[in-house]
Structure 1
Amino acid sequence: MNYRHAFHAGNFADLVKHAALLQVLARLAGQPLSVIDTHAGRGLYDLAGAEARKSGEAEAGVVRLMAAADAPAEFAPLAAAARKLNGGGPVRRYPGSPWLIAEALRPGDSYLACELRPEEHQALSERMKGKRGVRTLCADGYDLAVAQTPSSGRALVLIDPPFERSDDYARIVETLAGLRGRNRAATALVWLPLKDLETFDGFLRDLEDAVEAPFLVAETRMRPLTDPLKMNGCALVLLGAPADMAPPLQAICGWTARTLGENGTAKVYAV
């Protein structure tokens, strides 16, 4: 499978991931922060393009969020970023994680955005040009995540692969184990699809076996997990989560599942 995020930009999973990302970044502010993004993508997406219009996922995601009167306050930073990017008009462009992170950087912070696909990296590099504290590399983010994380101080590693490779789950576990060994104060935010429960539960079992640390897990089930060929939801797994992250995650995932899902449910728990 040749994954292209342009078809999915601004969908329900992006809302969950990016709203949570901005909540984590806000809680890690106050001292210099190093951010490493293992699968950065192109940074900015055209929702008026053929791919987005064909899938319709943005219409069912960010467009509905921007029109919602009942969205919880935890979505406000993401909505503000989308509004600023679109000049207050209709949502025609959607900010990916590189754009959101770069805009959130403070003096003394740094951001390394890794993207393996040359054409995606070229677009990313052009969009990040001139932004303070930002580097981009056309490289495998798994290979660089641990080595590029400082051995002390604040660090955030965002792991958001397209899951088009059979070893993605194993490499996430390997990366988190290495990260824990390098900097025990580091935070990691991992996004995963929810198709069938056994795949996700197996990942959590492998993670618990490999990493002796607590994790915070947030599941957004958009529909019952009865068809493993569909993306029935998504999950976030946090290592080194800020102490007060459970309530905002519950608000983000709960609203998304109830409002945008089909008999959707959400839960947040520690493992």
Structure 2
Amino acid sequence: MNYRHAFHAGNFADLVKHAALTQILAQLMAQPGPLSVIDTHAGRGLYDLAGPEARKSGEAQAGIVRLMAATDAPAEFGTLTAAVMTLNSGGAVRRYPGSPWLIAQALRAGDSYLACELRPEEHAALRDLMKPKRGVRTLCADGYDAAVAQAPAVGQVLVLIDPPFEQADDYRRIVETLASVRRRNRDAVALVWLPLKDLETFDAFLRDLEDEVRAPALVAETRMRPLSDPLKMNGCALVLPGAPDEMVAPLRAICGWTARTLGEGGEARVYTV
């Protein structure tokens, strides 16, 4: 996968990730006390779907454009589709919100958001976008290290981990980061996005997570096609250590609709490890 998310913005995986993000934000914000959100791989925060990258891949046309035209999408997509409508003034879908935009829009007084982005050019765009947002800091740094160093020791914490998986050690670093954050704050919740290529890689990640993080985790698989070609991204998965059980139904609705409607013989699975 090309690191520059502009090629992939608004694709099926973004729909799953961002709809789930809005759902878990709403559930955590319904609890008393402020929420701290740490985003380890924030990207630039807002994407031009009319740009050359998005037009070259065509992934947004097969993702967010189809969702916006759908009449049978579940209510769990509502916050995401409302944000897209607002960004595009109700017209054609030309702009798509990344996780920083969605998180910043949801923040209440007292909440905080740390958006980390390692690539200087992406961080520069993110920093400019987030300047007017209350409670938001951006950091041009390694997001794994920042999450461990800056996660509050007490209170509600949500860590969003969505790496490009260009580095061979991304799976290992996710586990190490979550284990360290959970040692620091036992109430921390995480939302991790992963590609689904082959089950051997994914199952190995889940085994490492169980061994080292030692917290129940919800797993939501969106299989867009049978996992028969490990060189293709055949779907995506969300792994949510520490997430409330109330996330099960939203995940089933989000992943199920995406797999059935946008996939090719797709299916969804939601379970706990």
For normalisation by structure 2, the TM-score amounts to: 0.98
Q: What code does the residue aligned with 1:22 have?
A: T
Q: Partner residue of 1:19?
A: 19
How far did residue 180 of structure 1 move? 1.1
**RMSD between aligned residues:** 0.8
Question: For residue 184 of structure 1, what is the aligned residue in structure 2?
Answer: 186
Q: Distance in 1 between matches of 2:112 and 2:137?
A: 8
Output aligned runs, 1:119-158, within 5 Å. Answer: 119-158=121-160
User: How far does the alpha carbon of each residue in 1:190-238 deviate from its partner, in whole angstroms, 9 at most, with x for none?
Assistant: 0000001100001001111112111100000000001111100000000
Matched, 1:65 2:84: no
Deviation at 1:2, TM superposition (A): 5.2
Q: Deviations over 1:90-128 (max 9, x none)?
A: 110000000000000000000000000000000000111
Q: Deviations along 1:161-186, whole A, 9 cap, x unmatched?
A: 00000000000000110111011111
User: 2:144 and 2:74 mapped to 1: Cα distance?
Assistant: 34
What is the rounded CA distance, in whole Å, between the counterparts of 2:9 and 2:213 in structure 1? 32
- Who is 1:45 aligned against? 47
Structure 1 unaligned spans of 5+ = none
Gaps of 5+ in 2: none
**Residue identity opposite 1:193 in structure 2:** P
Aligned-residue identity in percent: 80
Q: Look up the match of 1:245.
A: 247
The residue aligned with 2:209 is 207
Rounded Cα–Cα distance in structure 1 between residues aligned with 2:91 and 2:131: 25
- The equivalent position to 1:100 in structure 2, one of 99, 102, 123, is 102
Match among 84, 87, 99 for residue 86 of structure 2: 84
Count residues in correspondence.
Answer: 271
Q: 2:54 is matched by which residue type in structure 1?
A: A
**Separation in structure 2 between the aligned mates of residue 226 and residue 176 of structure 1, nearest angstrom:** 30
Residue 157 of structure 1 deviates from its aligned partner by: 0.4
Quote the Cα distance in structure 1 between the aligned partners of 2:150 and 2:65: 36
Moved over 4 A (4+): none
TM-score of the superposition, structure 1-length normalised?
A: 0.99
Classify the secondary structure of the residue corresponding to 2:246. coil
Offset, 1:243: 2.5
Report Cα offsets for 1:48-83 as digits up to 9, x if no partner. Answer: 000100110000000000000000000011000111
Query: 2:38 corresponds to which letter in structure 1?
Result: I
After TM superposition, give the deviation of residue 130 of structure 1 in Å.
1.3
The alignment partner of 1:245 has SS state of helix
